[in-house]
C-alpha cells in the first residue's frame, strides 16, 4: 500500500512550486517556437480531440477534408503498404509513394546480376515495364466505427477475465460476420485504451501492386546503419509503386489485363517550400506505443530487458562485421540481416538513453503518485483501484525472470541461423518437395557457415551466462556434459556433422525419403530446436501467458481509472496499427549543451559526407553529376536542393512511408525515421527532444526527374509550385 504521508508530501511539494512554475511556463509558451503535441489521434474523432489545436498551428482543411465517408477525403489517399508500412497515392492513375526501406524487398527480388536494381536503381520506362510483386498489397481504409457498445454489451461485472475475453471474442466474430466483408475486403475489430473501447475498421485490399521506380540503395539507404535513427540525415528513403485494378476499378489478383487504379483521392504535391515553424501532419499506420506503461515495467525494460538484448546483439553484430569486413561476398550476404539486427539494437540504446535523460521512470512514478492521491480522495475509487498499482508491480516482478529467459532465448538460441532454419523446415519434413528445396536454396544463398558457427558459440555461452539453470534445455545440458563443458567442442561437432551445414548435404539427405525420415531423430540442429521449444513450452510460456493476461486486465483497469479520474485531459489511445494522425511543426532541437540542430538538410550535406572508402557514404555518380552541374530545376531552395527535414510529429514504427502534409493537405515529404534523442517517444514523449525525420518531396522529385530523368512519373503528379 502507498504510504500516505509520503504521498501527501510529494503532492504538496508539487503544489507549492506550482506558482513559481507558472511564471516559467508562461515564458516558455510565449517565446518557445515548439508547440509540439504528443499523441496519435483517431481521424474520425479529430473534431472532439485536437482539431482546434491543429488549426491554430496552421491547418487549413476541415475535419471532413481529412476524414469522411461521404465524399473523397485525405484518408482515401493514405495506404497501408504491405503488412507494416504506410504509403500515399499521388496520382489519378494509382501511383503510390512509400519508403525505400519498405519497398526494399521487392526491389531486391527483381534484382539479379544482369539487372542490379539495388546498385543502379530502377525506373519503368512504360506501363509494360512496371514489375508485379506477388504477395504485396495496398490497403485502403473505407471507414472506421466505434463499436464499443456492441462489443461490450454482454459483459457483466461478475464475469471472470476468461469469461470476459470469451464474450468479447464472440461479439467480435458476430460483428465481422454481420458486416459480411465483400470480396477483397477485410473487417477488423481492435481494442483501444487497453480494451476500454473497440473500433471496427473496414478495409479494401488491392493485390496487384507493381514496382515503378526506386533509386539506387546508395540514395535510398544513404547513411545506412551509421546514420540510422540519427539527425542530421541525408537519406532519399522512397520507392514508387502503382496500384492496379480490374476494368471496373475493383481490386483483383494480378492480371496482365488489369489497369491502373483510379483512386477516390490522390494527394497533390507542394514544392513551394517549408519554413521553420510550419504546420505538419503525418497520416499513417503507427504500430505500437505504450504511453500508459507503469514505472515498474519501464524500469524493467530499460534496466534489464533492453540492456540484455542490446548486449547479445552487439556480440552478434561484431561477429557479422568481422566476416563482412574480411570478405566482400559475405558483406553482400549479410547486409540485409545486419541492417535488420542493427535497427532495433540501435533503437533500444536510444530508448535507454532517452528515458534516462528525460527521467522517464520518475515521470511515471509521479503519475502513479498523483493517481494514488486521486484514488485516496474518493472512497469508491479506493475500493475499486486501491490495490491496482501494487498488483501491477507484483505482476511485473513475477514476470521479470520469465521475460528475461524468453527474450534471451529469442536473441540468442533463435538467432543461430541453422537452429532457426532447421526448425522452420520441420513442418515440411518429410516428404522432400520442391518448395522445400527452393526455400533451402534461398536460405543458403545468403548464409555463411563460419559466421553462424561463431554466433552459435557466442550465443550459447551468453544464454548459459545470463539465464539460470532451471531454464537450460535438456539437449544443451547433455551436449555440454558430453563435451566436458566446452561450447566450442560442441560447436565443432555440430557444424561438422549437421546435414544443414550446406545445401548439398541437405539436398542429398532429402533426396532419399528414408534418410529424410531419419532426419528428425538424428539431426543435432533439430534436436537443439526441439529441446529448446520443449523447455519454453513447459517452463516459460504457460506462466508467462498467464501473467501477461493478468497484466492486460490490470492495465485495462488502470487506463480506465485514469480516463475516469482525469476528465479534463483528452487522451489518445496507444498506437495499434490503425490509421492515425499526428501533427506538429517543422522545428530544430538542442540535443545537448551548446549544440542546436537545424531542421533542414541539403544536397551539400550529401557531398560533404561523400566518401568512397565508407560503404554507407558512397554517393552515386549520377547524383554527383547533377550536384556539380546544379541541375536542380524547380526543386531548389536558396540555390540548393533540400534533402530531409524534421518536425515535432509523434510517430512510431509503421509510420514509415507515411505522407507528411502541410496545412493545405499537400504532400511535402515521406516520414521515415525518428531522431536518436527521441526514440523513447513510444513510452515517454518529450516535446523538446522528439522529432520525426522526413524525406523532403523536393529531393524525391529531384532524384526522379533531374538525376534519373523519369519525367513519365513526375508528369502524372499534381505538382504545385
Q: Which of 354, 653, 659, 665 binds ligand ARG (CB under 6 A)?
A: 653
Told to check if 260 binds ligand ARG by CB under 6 A, we report: no
Q: Does 53 bind ligand ARG (CB under 6 A)?
A: no
Nearer to ligand GLU, 487 or 683 (CB): 683
From ligand ARG, ligand GLU, none, interface partner of 576 (C-beta below 5 to 8 A by class): none
Asked if 652 is part of the footprint of ligand GLU (rule: CB under 6 A), the reply reads: yes
106-114, 156-164, 591-599, 650-658 -> range binding ligand GLU (CB under 6 A) = 650-658
Q: Are 214 and 240 in contact (CB under 8 A)?
A: yes
Catalytic residue among 73, 86, 648, 656: 656
Nearer to ligand ARG, 93 or 415 (CB): 415
Grid cell digits, residue 512: 532419399
d(CA 507, CA 503): 6
Q: Which entry of 68, 101, 681, 705 is annotated as an active-site residue? A: 101
656 flagged as catalytic: yes
Task: Write each residue from 505 to 524 as x if it is in contact with ligand GLU (CB under 6 A), else as -, in one continuous string.
Answer: --------------------
* Contact predicate 423/533, CB 8 Å: yes
Q: How far is the CB of 682 from ligand ARG (least distance, A)?
A: 11
d(CA 432, CA 628): 57
CB of 653 to ligand GLU, least distance (A): 4
Q: Are strands 269-270 and 719-720 parallel, antiparallel or unpaired?
A: parallel
User: Is 101 assigned a catalytic role?
Assistant: yes
Phi and psi (nearest 5°) for 576?
-145, 35
In whole angstroms, the minimum distance from the beta carbon of 452 to ligand ARG comes to 21
The reply on whether position 228 binds ligand ARG by CB under 6 A is: yes
Name every residue whose Cβ is closer than 8 Å to that of residue 184 and which is 6 or more positions away in sequence: 204, 205, 206, 207, 250, 251, 252
* For ligand ARG, the closer CB: 72 or 614: 614
Q: Is 191 in the site for ligand GLU (CB under 6 A)?
A: no
Residue among 50, 101, 210, 234 that touches ligand ARG (CB under 6 A): 101
The residues in 316-345 that bind ligand ARG, with binding defined as CB under 6 A, are 339, 343
User: 662 — phi, psi (to 5°)?
Assistant: -90, -175
> Which grid coordinates belong to 78?
493514405
Cβ-based nearer residue to ligand GLU, 280 or 655 = 655
Query: Vertex 221, ends 78 and 639: CA angle to 5°?
Result: 85
Q: Within 13 Å and on the Cβ side, how many CA atoms surround 656?
A: 22
- Separation between Cα atoms, residue 111 and residue 122, nearest integer Å: 9
Report the residue number whose CB is nearest to ligand GLU: 656
> At closest approach, how far in Å is the CB of 136 from ligand GLU?
16
Cα(229)–Cα(241) distance, integer angstroms: 25
Does 350 help bind ligand GLU (rule: CB under 6 A)?
Answer: no
Question: How many residues in the shown chain lie near ligand ARG by CB under 6 A?
Answer: 11
Nearest alpha-carbon partner for 645 in 604, 694, 583? 694
Strands 279-284, 269-270: pairing kind: unpaired
Angstrom CA distances, 69 to 64, 144, 202, 267, stand at 9, 9, 11, 17
Q: Are 216 and 620 in contact (CB under 8 A)?
A: yes
CB of 335 to ligand ARG, least distance (A): 10
Decide which of ligand GLU, ligand ARG, none touches 412; Cβ closer than 5 to 8 Å per partner kind.
none
Neighbours of 401 (CB within 10 A): 17
> If we measure between CA atoms, which residue out of 584, 703, 670, 652 comes closest to residue 285?
652
Interface with ligand GLU, residue 674, by CB under 6 A: yes
Residue from 63, 103, 260, 653 touching ligand GLU (CB under 6 A): that is 653
Tell the smallest beta-carbon distance from residue 137 to ligand GLU (Å): 17
Query: Cα 399–405–411 angle (5° rounding)?
Result: 130
Sole binder of ligand GLU in the list 454, 673, 677, 696 (CB under 6 A): 673
- The catalytic residue among 76, 208, 237, 705 is 237
Using CB distances below 5 to 8 A depending on partner kind, what does residue 229 bind out of ligand ARG, ligand GLU, none? Answer: ligand ARG
Closer of 233 and 706 to ligand ARG (Cβ): 233
237 catalytically annotated: yes
Residue 651's binding partner out of ligand GLU, ligand ARG, none, with CB under 5 to 8 Å set by partner kind: ligand GLU
- DSSP β-ladder status, 589-592 and 239-245: unpaired
User: Cα–Cα distances in Å, from 313 out to 280, 408, 416, 462?
Assistant: 36, 10, 12, 11
Q: Which helix (H) or strand (E) holds 673?
A: strand 667-674
Q: Determine if 673 is a binding residue for ligand ARG (CB under 6 A).
A: yes
Smaller CB separation from ligand GLU, 284 or 620 = 284
At residue 357, the 3 state secondary structure works out as helix
Chain residues binding ligand ARG by CB under 6 A are 101, 221, 224-225, 228-229, 339, 343, 653, 656, 673
Q: Which residues does the annotation mark as catalytic?
A: 101, 237, 656
List residues near ligand GLU by CB under 6 A. 651-656, 672-674
Amino acid at each position: 500500500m502507498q504510504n500516505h504521508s509520503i504521498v501527501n508530501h510529494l503532492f504538496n511539494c508539487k503544489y507549492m512550486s506550482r506558482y513559481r512554475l507558472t511564471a516559467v511556463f508562461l515564458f516558455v509558451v510565449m517565446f518557445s517556437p515548439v508547440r509540439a503535441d504528443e499523441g496519435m489521434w483517431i481521424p474520425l474523432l479529430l473534431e472532439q480531440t485536437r482539431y482546434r489545436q491543429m488549426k491554430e498551428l496552421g491547418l487549413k482543411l476541415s475535419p471532413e477534408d481529412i476524414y469522411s465517408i461521404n465524399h473523397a477525403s485525405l484518408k482515401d489517399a493514405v495506404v497501408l503498404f504491405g503488412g507494416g508500412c504506410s504509403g500515399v497515392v499521388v496520382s489519378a492513375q494509382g501511383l503510390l509513394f512509400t519508403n525505400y526501406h519498405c519497398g526494399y524487398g521487392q526491389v531486391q527480388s527483381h534484382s539479379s546480376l544482369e539487372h542490379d536494381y539495388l546498385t543502379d536503381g530502377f525506373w519503368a520506362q512504360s506501363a509494360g515495364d512496371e514489375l508485379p510483386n506477388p504477395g504485396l498489397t495496398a490497403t485502403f481504409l473505407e471507414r472506421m466505427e466505434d463499436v464499443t457498445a456492441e462489443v461490450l454489451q454482454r459483459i457483466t461485472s461478475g464475469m471472470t477475465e476468461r469469461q470476459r475475453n470469451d464474450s468479447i471474442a464472440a461479439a467480435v466474430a458476430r460483428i465481422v460476420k454481420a458486416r459480411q466483408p465483400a470480396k477483397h475486403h477485410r473487417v477488423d475489430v481492435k481494442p483501444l485504451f487497453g480494451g476500454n473501447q473497440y473500433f471496427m475498421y473496414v478495409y479494401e485490399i488491392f493485390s496487384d501492386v507493381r514496382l515503378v521506380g526506386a533509386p539506387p540503395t546508395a540514395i535510398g539507404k544513404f547513411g545506412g546503419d551509421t546514420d540510422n535513427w540519427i539527425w542530421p540525415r541525408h537519406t532519399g528513403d522512397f520507392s514508387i509503386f502503382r496500384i492496379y485494378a480490374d476494368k471496373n476499378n475493383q481490386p483483383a489478383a494480378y492480371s496482365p489485363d488489369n489497369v491502373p487504379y483510379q483512386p477516390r483521392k490522390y494527394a497533390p504535391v507542394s514544392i513551394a517550400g517549408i519554413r521553420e515553424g510550419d504546420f505538419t501532419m503525418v497520416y499513417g499506420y503507427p504500430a505500437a506505443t505504450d504511453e500508459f506503461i507503469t514505472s515498474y515495467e519501464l524500469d524493467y525494460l530499460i534496466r534489464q530487458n533492453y540492456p540484455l538484448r542490446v548486449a547479445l546483439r552487439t556480440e552478434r553484430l561484431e561477429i557479422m562485421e568481422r566476416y563482412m569486413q574480411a570478405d566482400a561476398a559475405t558483406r553482400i550476404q549479410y547486409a540485409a540481416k545486419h541492417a535488420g539486427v542493427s535497427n532495433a539494437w540501435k533503437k533500444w540504446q536510444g530508448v535507454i538513453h532517452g528515458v534516462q535523460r528525460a527521467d522517464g521512470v520518475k515521470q511515471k512514478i509521479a503519475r502513479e503518485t498523483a493517481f494514488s492521491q486521486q484514488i485516496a480522495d474518493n472512497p469508491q475509487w479506493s475500493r475499486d483501484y486501491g490495490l491496482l498499482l501494487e498488483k501491477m508491480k507484483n505482476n511485473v516482478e513475477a514476470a521479470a525472470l520469465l521475460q528475461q529467459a524468453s527474450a534471451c532465448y529469442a536473441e540468442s538460441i533463435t538467432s543461430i541461423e541453422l537452429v532457426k532454419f532447421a526448425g522452420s523446415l520441420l513442418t515440411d519434413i518429410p516428404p522432400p518437395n520442391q518448395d522445400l528445396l527452393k526455400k533451402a536454396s534461398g536460405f543458403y544463398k545468403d548464409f555463411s557457415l563460419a559466421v553462424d558457427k561463431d554466433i552459435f558459440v557466442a550465443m550459447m555461452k551468453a544464454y548459459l551466462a545470463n539465464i539460470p539453470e532451471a531454464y537450460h534445455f535438456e539437449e544443451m545440458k547433455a551436449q555440454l556434459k558430453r563435451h566436458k563443458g566446452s561450447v566450442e567442442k560442441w560447436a565443432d561437432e555440430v557444424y561438422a556433422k549437421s546435414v544443414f551445414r550446406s545445401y548439398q548435404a541437405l539436398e542429398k539427405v532429402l533426396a532419399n525419403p528414408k534418410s529424410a525420415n531419419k532426419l528428425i531423430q538424428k539431426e543435432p540442429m533439430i534436436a537443439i530446436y526441439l529441446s529448446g521449444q520443449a523447455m519454453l513450452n513447459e517452463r516459460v510460456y504457460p506462466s508467462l501467458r498467464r501473467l501477461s493476461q493478468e497484466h492486460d486486465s490490470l492495465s485495462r483497469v488502470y487506463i480506465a481509472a485514469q480516463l475516469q479520474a482525469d476528465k479534463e485531459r483528452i487522451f489518445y489511445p496507444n498506437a495499434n496499427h490503425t490509421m492515425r494522425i499526428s501533427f506538429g511543426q517543422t522545428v530544430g532541437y538542442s540535443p545537448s549543451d551548446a549544440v542546436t540542430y537545424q531542421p533542414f538538410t541539403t544536397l551539400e550535406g550529401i557531398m560533404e559526407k561523400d566518401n568512397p572508402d565508407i560503404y554507407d557514404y558512397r554517393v552515386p555518380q549520377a547524383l554527383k553529376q547533377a550536384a556539380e552541374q546544379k541541375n536542380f530545376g524547380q526543386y531548389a531552395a536558396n540555390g540548393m536542393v533540400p534533402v530531409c527535414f524534421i518536425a515535432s510529429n509523434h510517430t512510431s514504427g509503421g509510420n514509415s512511408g507515411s505522407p507528411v502534409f502541410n496545412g493545405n493537405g499537400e504532400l511535402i515529404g515521406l516520414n521515415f525515421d525518428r531522431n536518436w534523442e527521441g526514440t523513447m517517444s513510444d513510452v515517454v514523449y518529450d516535446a523538446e527532444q522528439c522529432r520525426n525525420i522526413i524525406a523532403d518531396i523536393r529531393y524525391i522529385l529531384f532524384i526522379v526527374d533531374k538525376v534519373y530523368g523519369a519525367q513519365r512519373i513526375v508528369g502524372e503528379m499534381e505538382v504545385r509550385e
